[in-house]
Structure 1
Amino acid sequence: MLSAISYDSGIISSVITFPAFKGFVNNPGNYDSLSGAVVSTFTGGCFFGAAGAGWVNDKFGRRLTVQLGALIALWGCAMQSGANNFACMLIGRIVAGFAIGILSMTVPLYNTEIAPAKHRGFVVGLTQQMIGIGFIVANWVGYGCQFLQGNKQWRLPLGLQLAPAFLLLVGAQFMPRSPRWLLEQGRDNEARAVVRKLHGSSPEQQEAADLEFAEMRETIAAEKVVRSRSLSDLWATRGMLRRTLVAVGVQVFGQFSGINVINYFGPSMYRALGLSAGQSLLVQGIYGAVGPITNFFFITLILDTVGRKKPLMFGAGSFIVTYSVLTAIVACFPPDQSTNLAAQRAGIAMIFMTSIFFSLSFGPVSWVLASEVFPTRTRSIGTSVATCANWAFNVLFSQVSNLAINNISWRYYLVFICLNAIDFVIIAFFFPETKGKSLEQMAEVFGDEIDAHDVLDTGAKEKLEHHEPDVEKS
């Protein structure tokens, strides 16, 4: 699912460097601004898609929302690849971005709700893994398409976006529904069947499934008593406000890593280090493979062991170092005045190290933490708000980064040094550790004033304990 998201996001970094695309835009004097608009209109669409996805998820469920996102993506991608003028291209980018906003919010939400607590870091961390794979494909497709002639140089890579969107539309039909969403709809039998299917068929696994289902059902039944579905629920209590700030914070801090500046404008950054256009695309292709490899080993072997907080602190501290070195290299060896190959290699190494450190920290952890901290009654809307914050800063950086790299060079990297220093302090003092906690146990972590279980009076609890699941609804 996430490969479709990241291919759409990643292919544009190559497309905006193609001579044929520059000819299509046909405004050389203002190309830096227009190429930034191509990127930022997409991310702006993502913001609004993520904003509306919370309501759609609560109303129609996670699976149908994924399919809706895939359908809209097909529309937007077709507009881009078949655009006959620049305005049509921008509209296609907005529509496709709207779809990706829906998916970027729904996929980690869905994965969070179907994953067992002890493996949730790995399962939700696969979000970043698939994003990385999509970027790999996008980078190498972009590298290969530079050798084509005419408008097919950019129409072909944009048209290939249709393939993952179509596969997602069809494949989503075979995914199980979220058991927590089913319980909210009163479809208890279906929810129990999904939980049992996810756990396995052995007697021990079925027993564990029934225990998890019982806790899940009791908690959700209690939460429904106090549910209002209002945006103000996200800051109604001290515990909820802390959840919201953590979820929004981790998504925004992920943007402060500058990783999407590299993903979108990597070739521009490499050219600023003195590489040719062809060399920049080649290095970007190699760069794209580094993060996913690192991410795979991290989510497989480390994330569910060390938790969430320590990797985030490690990431913020590491970015301070890599951007400091990169700033010093570009400042001391300006690419238009120096041909120092060692400096070029060191600068590229810092960009690669940033990708590695991102994959060991904010890459997987931001998706896990932002979706796991909320109770069921606000998980959709809370994840939606956090994802909107992510895309809002993505819009900001995608609009200004190309202009900043070309106009103020190394001074732009000072912004990321300062931002990550602030991130480190906030994470160290205010972020909790959520490793190994079930979604129903997050109330203890965040010190909620009223535990959802306490909402049920004694009679309601007794009724719930003897409650037989409702007849399956169609």
Structure 2
Amino acid sequence: MGYENKLTAPALKFKNFLDKFPKLHNVYIISMISCISGLMFGFDISSMSAFIGTPSYVHYFKTPNSAMQGFITASMSLGSFVGSLLSSFVSEPFGRRASLFICSILWMIGAAIQSSAQNTTQLIFGRLISGFGMGFGSSVAPVYGSELAPRKVRGLIGGLFQFSVTLGIMIMFFISYGCGKITSAASFRIAWGIQIIPGLILFFGLFFVPESPRWLAKQGYWDEAEIVVANTQAKGNREDTDVLIEISEIKEQLMLEHDVKAFTFSKLFSKKYLPRTVVAVSAQIWQQLTGMNVMMYYIVYIFEMAGYSGNANLVSSAIQYVLNVVMTIPALFVMDKFGRRYVLLIGAVFMMAFQFGVGGLLATYSVPFPDSGSDSVTIRIPDSNKSAAKGVIACCYLFVCSFAASWGVGIWVYCAEVWGDNVSRQRGAALSTSANWIMNFAIAMFTPSAFKNITWKTYIIYAVFCVCMFIHVFFFFPETKGKRLEEIGQLWEENVPAWRSSSWQPTVPLLSDKELGNKMQVEHSEGGEEMLRSTDSHSEASETKEEHA
């Protein structure tokens, strides 16, 4: 595998244009800029949930029934599904920053269309456009962060995307709460127009972030890749041990995979990649089947069932959004301390308990509520059972805390690193993220009609899903905490049982960080020739081993 540059003329011009601007080197600031795409998604969630029960929204859009409201809400996810599938066709040839530029531009166009919507058709169209951009951002931002992050804080950096989602939900809810005091259509128009602001911040911020070093290496820009790693991990010291290890790992991965450029979606379903594809895709599907977005999109409906309305409903909803942000913060650290599997398993248990709690309380204490004014709210806990209503609210809060501290952050981190190599990562992340969005679409569509037709049984369905995901994680989700990409790849190839993956050691032991760093310093000072010969020998040995196997 040579070092020649592989960019097409348009991609090279785009790269050279961006490289003229000064660059930030702090990996946390860089990741926060890229994760503004998550903030935008959070804006969308609460900008819709805050208004679906207000008179100004209901009257202006002619009282949408449960099916229509479901499609209005879900149209964002439908656009995101398409955008996430297409994102790799931009981020691979043009770079990670190109996809994020598309995200910001489409988001701003969609927000402008929504804020000027004259009817439900225009509103849906605006949400589709915004969602299309969001698909690019949600597929690329977690991958971009994980490709820049030092291994020891990869969980923290990867979790910033979900944190930005929760922060966006909270900020936009308070904006919408204030705008809701306006009694005309200006209430939702102002709130939806404000969504343009994070799009602008992302757009201009992208001029000052570096390209992913792994993408640069794929394209043959090894020197630039090394500079980016040195600047983000060692204050520009290219002789630093961690920098040399990181560059060595990138080289080894790309040397072992001769068909990097030819990797297609179909290869994700080959014998080698199918197990990890199933795990990554199902992880994103399970995240949606927890029922979290039911709590986010339709929280106003849920609290109406519990007997809360008007200001009391919105204040209760605001508390939930604050808890979502607060409980996401510890999750950024516990994954790197305790591991991905442990956090996901514990989270599934708690979410199951609280979903059963909501369903059980509504089943026991609710009564028919034909005069709710909403096609989706058909039951309500009467005022005589306020303790039961408070129990529903408490279970909702505790469910959100459980999700935020586990599956909210954990899945975005896990799906960005579970692939085990650079070759499949972007295509794999695009596919798994698209699964998240299509399930998001299905749940947003399904929930209003489910509330209408099976009421409290909706929560029992999600509780059973939590049971299923616990079983799936225990038997099939390997631990990735603290492992190099090469180690994760070996883990898959040796079919290590998931429940033994935390203590598993590779059959061909890797050098320790100290040993590898010393080795790399010698080779680096000699011009890298020894390292390349060592890599080629390793590649040949691997091929011989596969032939014997």
TM-score where L is the length of structure 1: 0.92
Distance in structure 2 (CA, Å) of the matches to 1:298 and 1:146: 32
**Deviation per residue, 1:191-243 (Å, 9 max, x gap):** 010000111238697232022112212211321346532212112124x1111
> In the alignment, which of 452, 462, 468 is matched to residue 422 of structure 1?
468
| Matched residue type, 1:303 | M
Aligned counterpart, 1:411: 457
**Deviation per residue, 1:98-131 (Å, 9 max, x gap):** 1111111111010111111111111101111111
Aligned counterpart, 1:357: 402
Distance in structure 1 (CA, Å) of the matches to 2:287 and 2:447: 16
Aligned counterpart, 1:295: 328
1:286-365 correspondence to structure 2 within 5 Å: 286-300=319-333, 302-334=334-366, 336=380, 338-339=382-383, 340-365=385-410
1:88 aligns with 2:134: no
Tell me by how many angstroms 1:324 deviates.
1.1
1:230 aligns with 2:298: no
User: Helix, strand or coil for the counterpart of 1:361?
Assistant: helix
**Contact kept in structure 2, 1:262 and 1:269, CA below 8 Å:** yes
Distance in structure 1 (CA, Å) of the matches to 2:124 and 2:359: 33
The gaps in structure 1 that reach 5 residues or longer are 454-459, 468-474
**Contact kept in structure 1, 2:109 and 2:129, CA below 8 Å:** yes
In proportion to residue count, which structure has more helix?
A: 1
Tell me by how many angstroms 1:461 deviates.
8.8
Tell me by how many angstroms 1:337 deviates.
5.8
**Contact kept in structure 2, 1:22 and 1:31, CA below 8 Å:** no
**Deviation per residue, 1:383-402 (Å, 9 max, x gap):** 01100110111111100112
Structure with bigger gyration radius: 2
**Deviation per residue, 1:361-381 (Å, 9 max, x gap):** 111110011111122111111
**Contact kept in structure 2, 1:125 and 1:299, CA below 8 Å:** yes
Tell me by how many angstroms 1:278 deviates.
2.4
Tell me by how many angstroms 1:462 deviates.
6.1
| Matched residue type, 2:382 | S
**Deviation per residue, 1:394-417 (Å, 9 max, x gap):** 111100112212332111111112
Aligned counterpart, 1:24: 60
> In the alignment, which of 264, 286, 291 is matched to residue 297 of structure 2?
264
> In the alignment, which of 416, 438, 441 is matched to residue 392 of structure 1?
438
Distance in structure 2 (CA, Å) of the matches to 1:102 and 1:298: 25
User: Helix, strand or coil for the counterpart of 1:149?
Assistant: coil
**Contact kept in structure 2, 1:251 and 1:389, CA below 8 Å:** yes
> In the alignment, which of 204, 222, 230 is matched to residue 196 of structure 1?
230
Of structures 1 and 2, the one with the larger relative CO (CA 8 A, separation 6+) is 1
TM-score where L is the length of structure 2: 0.80
Q: How many residues align structurally? A: 455
1:112-123 correspondence to structure 2 within 5 Å: 112-123=146-157
> In the alignment, which of 478, 495, 500 is matched to residue 432 of structure 1?
478
Tell me by how many angstroms 1:282 deviates.
1.4
1:47-66 correspondence to structure 2 within 5 Å: 47-66=81-100
After superposition, the Cα gap between the structure-2 partners of 1:303 and 1:205, relative to the gap in structure 1 and judged at 3 Å, is: farther
Distance in structure 2 (CA, Å) of the matches to 1:428 and 1:262: 26
RMSD: 2.1
1:253 aligns with 2:286: yes
Distance in structure 2 (CA, Å) of the matches to 1:169 and 1:332: 51
After superposition, the Cα gap between the structure-2 partners of 1:202 and 1:93, relative to the gap in structure 1 and judged at 3 Å, is: closer
1:276 aligns with 2:309: yes
Aligned counterpart, 2:541: none
> In the alignment, which of 468, 480, 488 is matched to residue 442 of structure 1?
488
**Contact kept in structure 2, 1:234 and 1:378, CA below 8 Å:** yes
Aligned counterpart, 1:11: 47
Tell me by how many angstroms 1:142 deviates.
1.9
1:162 aligns with 2:218: no
User: Helix, strand or coil for the counterpart of 1:224?
Assistant: coil
**Contact kept in structure 1, 2:117 and 2:123, CA below 8 Å:** yes
| Matched residue type, 2:532 | L
**Kindly, what percent of the aligned residue pairs are identical?**
28
Distance in structure 2 (CA, Å) of the matches to 1:214 and 1:422: 40
